[in-house]
């Protein structure tokens, strides 16, 4: 691989996977902005970035939906008085920490360079409502 091809591949990687802008890429690789912009247009980097984001977001949605179905099945078993399979409960408990990682990833994707630390009150409320089935009225009654 020649030097030009290496730089083009590196610029593409920085744009698509690290969400860097043209000026930052040009500066880091010691290239002209116009050169990087031309490569971006010819390589269709914008669509490649969109596909990359969509693949990551789809995976998040799949994890989220799987956790919801798993929790629904556990709750149904509890309400029916049936013994809860420990494997399902273990899987659900292992999924919960992933939500924090996914939230961090979403923050990076939405605002490159800024990473939110920990769970926000809004995210906790959303998890309680959508995953655990606890509505705002139930939370208020408990307090």
| Average pLDDT of the residues of the chain | 80
Least confident residue range of 24-33, 51-60, 70-79, 128-137: 128-137
Supply the DSSP symbol for 85: P
Instruction: Using the CB atoms, write b or e for 39-52: b if 16+ within 10 Å.
Output: bbeebebeeebeee
pLDDT band, very low/low/confident/very high, at 139 (cuts 50, 70, 90): very low
The pLDDT of 65-81, averaged and rounded, is 89
pLDDT tens for 8-18 read: 999 999 999 88
pTM: 0.46
Phi, psi of 111 (to 5 degrees): -135, 85
Q: Are 33 and 15 in contact (CB under 8 A)?
A: no
């Amino acid at each position: 691989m020649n030097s030009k091809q290496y730089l083009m591949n590196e610029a593409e990687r920085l744009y698509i996977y690290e969400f860097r802008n043209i000026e930052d890429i040009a500066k880091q690789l010691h290239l002209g902005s116009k050169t990087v912009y031309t490569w971006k247009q010819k390589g269709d980097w914008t669509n490649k970035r969109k596909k990359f984001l969509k693949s990551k977001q789809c995976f998040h949605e799949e994890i989220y939906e799987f956790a919801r179905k798993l929790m629904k099945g556990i709750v149904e078993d509890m309400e029916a008085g049936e013994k809860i399979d420990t494997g399902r409960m273990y899987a659900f408990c292992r999924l919960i920490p992933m939500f924090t990682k996914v939230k961090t990833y979403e923050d990076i994707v939405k605002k490159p360079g800024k990473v939110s630390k920990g769970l926000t009150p809004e995210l906790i409320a959303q998890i309680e409502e959508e995953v655990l089935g606890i509505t705002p009225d139930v939370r208020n009654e408990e307090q």
